[in-house]
Homo-oligomer: A and B are copies of this chain.
């Protein structure tokens, strides 16, 4: 059987994302990823060059933050939390960064980049306070990443048991306050 190069790459990338998200960088071996994709380990090397480069490709993350400028100020925080919960539960893209960013320097750098280029600008636009935006975006991150950590990664029972809307009600006000939107 024969595939196009891009097809193979996509196949490998999907398996890699799953493995990296589930096991972290070190325990996700190239052999395991290749086995999941039904492909020879050597093929992975030919397509991506090295494990580092494969990982860098698997780390490409877009938060897909919705346009919240039209949202009523009082509902922005809830919408934000809801968006992240959906993104988190729908796929493993976000889980990669959290699982690997804690021990892998490349992933940590990538997370800082996502924060700076995707989250800070949104906070600046929403608050109309460019100067305070980095801190506000950072505080929002602490609350949202903290919830993801406790709920999905560490699986603290009380947090894992909450429904999605209960989570929105629980941390929405904190996020709202961190954003500091004038109403």
Taking the closest CB of chain B, its distance from the CB of A179, in whole angstroms, is 12
Shortest CB distance A37–B (Å): 22
Q: Is the CB of A150 within 8 A of B141?
A: yes
Q: Which of A131-174 touch B at CB < 8 Å?
A: 134-135, 137-139, 141-147, 149-151, 153-159, 162, 170-171, 173-174
- Contact A150:B138 (CB < 8 A) given known A27-B103, A115-B156: yes
This protein's copies in its complex? 2
B150-A171 in contact (CB<8A): no
Residues in chain A within 8 A of chain B (CB atoms): 23-24, 26-27, 98-99, 101-103, 108, 111-112, 115-116, 134-135, 137-139, 141-147, 149-151, 153-159, 162, 170-171, 173-174, 177-178
